[in-house]
Structure 1
Amino acid sequence: MTALLLDVPQRVLPFFMLVAAGVVLARLRLFDARMSSGLSTYVYWIGFPALLIHSLSRVGAPDRALALGLTAYGACALLVVALMVTVGLALRWTREERAGAALAGGLGNSAFLGLPIVVSVLGPETARLSAGVVAVDFVVVAAVGVGLLGWAGGRSTWRSLMQALRNPIVLAAITGTVLALLGLSLPGMLDRAVAAAAASGSPVALVALGVALGLTGEPIAGEPCEPAPEEPAPTPRWGPIILAAVAKLAILPAAAWIATGLVDAPLGFRLGATLMAATPTAVNVFIQTKAHSVFERGGARTVALTTAVSCLTLSAVAVLLARMAV
């Protein structure tokens, strides 16, 4: 037991060290907004899409039990999104706060952080079984969340959804899922190129996440942003931020564990999906809220808060799940 308590944090903390390295580089002004654009652009257009295609294409067509598990996970994530909107109505949050908190509470850093940690803590087979969670996050949850941001910003919800589906990250998740469902693989030379880019995707993305957190007051490249408003964005209230953080780090993983158990999903998937549900809010939330000029400071603070707190909570969840896997 003592060895496990020491071993799991040692496997998890290196990923946060890469995030911290990015924050330090930004705070020391070794990366400013313009200099970080190349790093962010690489992650957004090459590293992250390659990681998604490479990981998802190897999942294979899910059997009935795995499909039920994925459905249960997706239902939990969308339930959290709906819960944040409902709570926001009850507490009289603004539309921007409701939309931003809903996306921040439901969309986790499952690909940048979750999948590598699942591989490290629970093994590659568990990661293979639970890789479909990434597709659910970045196709279903992200599309719904972006639609809400468009609604809150006074845009057409349909137009926002179509924009989300043209996102290279969403397109990569769809491509990898289609390849898996059809049992297809990329041609040999292309597959090796994608594998090489995928290997760099996670570490570069984690550093890019740190840089993004360190430069939350600066534009981030990789996603077109709206022109800066003439007046500074209002300081966000902490209520929506804290409740979104609680939903992301506590409610979603608990719901995912219960729901995947109720549908009798494979244990490996249940463990991996719960661990990925416990990841902090995805940096993509900050990118999207910035792009829509909706809850942008709140999105940045939620990403920063959940990333900091998850240094402890994610390690604790990983220890518990690793014990169950033994």
Structure 2
Amino acid sequence: MLLFTIWPLFALICLGYALARAGFPDPGFWPAAERINYFILFPALLVASLVSAPVRDPAILKLGGAAVATILLAAAALALWRFVVPSPAARFGPTVQGVIRFNTYLGLAITGSLAGPEGLGLAAVLLAVAVPLVNVMSIIALTEAGSAGRGRALVRAILRNPLILACIVGLGLALTGIGLPFGADRLLGLLAQASLPLGLLCVGAALRPDAARQDLPALAGIGAMRLLAMPALAALVGAGFGLAGTEALVLVIFAAIPTAPTAYVLTRQLGGDGTLMAGLVTAQTLAAVATIPAMLAALGLR
């Protein structure tokens, strides 16, 4: 049963929340754990997954194209809604991030549980396309017209993002056929194994239930778009691109998972509504316990 596959992942999130609230092992541990995961462990996972991904297969381009199309269609719908109902960038930015961004740790953990190494390889290809796109679009949404310089500075920072660089390195190794010689594959494999459990614990430690109690109509509406409408849209787009089997599953998983905890950091950096963004991360993560298995079952993917 799908729920039995997914619940241990959410149990790790709950454990992270409980440990952080208990002050164990130390309040300073969680920021340090996030940094080591973000700069070392998670990039190692991306490189290790991409090296073995079938990037030379022309059919794989369909998955990347479907991911881009899904994100762009959702962003266009939000832009149209903003035209009808004006919203300042401080609110619009969290709304966009709450719909198009995704919790990569959770997505890879679910993909690995349901689709194994094949799914992780496909997921790495999707991330190589989607991670830069959603970051740039999030910055655009958070930046007012008069803040173009600040937006350009953030774009330059994104191009130095360790996750994006890891995607570039992994794709380069896969396309050139160099691979990971001299036991480097084992080293990256060991680092990668630590990334997902630590990442899920950090997600739980970052949850803010108090923020989720505020602005409930916005949280419910944006959450419904992210957790219900996005996977349905991804399934339609995937069918249009001719995706089936594991490819379709991976596309829908990354459309069905909650928004990324790191969206809160970007929102704060660009002067957005941090309380709304924290509430979106928390509310969607909690609701996803029920919505992910429900949507995958409803769409006939598991």
Deviation of 1:240 after TM superposition, in Å, equals: 4.0
The 3 A distance-change label for structure 1 pair 239 and 81 is farther
Deviation of 1:248 after TM superposition, in Å, equals: 1.4
Does 1:205 pair with 2:183? no
Deviation of 1:32 after TM superposition, in Å, equals: 6.0
Deviation track 1:164-191 (CA, whole Å, cap 9, x = no partner) reads 1112122222322333333331233332
TM-score, with length taken from structure 2: 0.89
Unaligned segments of structure 1, at least 5 residues: 1-6, 218-234
Does 1:255 pair with 2:248? no
Does 1:22 pair with 2:7? no
Find the counterpart in structure 1 of residue 107 from structure 2: 114
Find the counterpart in structure 1 of residue 256 from structure 2: 278
Deviation of 1:284 after TM superposition, in Å, equals: 1.9
* In structure 2, C-alpha distance between the alignment counterparts of 1:79 and 1:302, rounded to whole Å: 21
Query: Is the Cα contact below 8 Å between 1:78 and 1:141 reproduced in 2?
Result: no
Deviation of 1:131 after TM superposition, in Å, equals: 3.1
Deviation of 1:86 after TM superposition, in Å, equals: 2.8
Deviation track 1:213-268 (CA, whole Å, cap 9, x = no partner) reads 15998xxxxxxxxxxxxxxxxx9744443332222112221111111111212432
Deviation track 1:151-207 (CA, whole Å, cap 9, x = no partner) reads 479352322211111121222223223333333312333322211111000000000
Find the counterpart in structure 2 of residue 154 from structure 1: 147
Does 1:293 pair with 2:293? no
Query: Is the Cα contact below 8 Å between 2:122 and 2:247 reproduced in 1?
Result: yes
Deviation of 1:279 after TM superposition, in Å, equals: 0.6
RMSD: 2.5
Matched residues, number = 300
Find the counterpart in structure 2 of residue 59 from structure 1: 53
Find the counterpart in structure 1 of residue 117 from structure 2: 124
Query: Is the Cα contact below 8 Å between 1:147 and 1:161 reproduced in 2?
Result: no
Query: Is the Cα contact below 8 Å between 1:88 and 1:97 reproduced in 2?
Result: no
Does 1:164 pair with 2:142? no
* In structure 2, C-alpha distance between the alignment counterparts of 1:247 and 1:179, rounded to whole Å: 37
* In structure 1, C-alpha distance between the alignment counterparts of 2:34 and 2:209, rounded to whole Å: 12
Percent of residue pairs identical: 27
- Report the AA paired with residue 108 of structure 1: F
* In structure 2, C-alpha distance between the alignment counterparts of 1:194 and 1:214, rounded to whole Å: 33
TM-score, with length taken from structure 1: 0.83
The 3 A distance-change label for structure 1 pair 120 and 153 is farther
* In structure 2, C-alpha distance between the alignment counterparts of 1:181 and 1:296, rounded to whole Å: 40
Query: Is the Cα contact below 8 Å between 1:213 and 1:300 reproduced in 2?
Result: yes
Query: Is the Cα contact below 8 Å between 2:41 and 2:195 reproduced in 1?
Result: yes
- The answer to which of 155-164 and 202-211 deviates more is 155-164
Q: How does 1:1-326 map to 2 (within 5 A)?
A: 7-30=1-24, 33-109=27-103, 111-151=104-144, 154-156=147-149, 157-214=151-208, 237-320=215-298, 324=301
Query: Is the Cα contact below 8 Å between 1:106 and 1:248 reproduced in 2?
Result: yes
Unaligned segments of structure 2, at least 5 residues: none
Query: Is the Cα contact below 8 Å between 1:146 and 1:164 reproduced in 2?
Result: no
Question: Tell me, what secondary structure is at the counterpart of 1:64?
Answer: coil
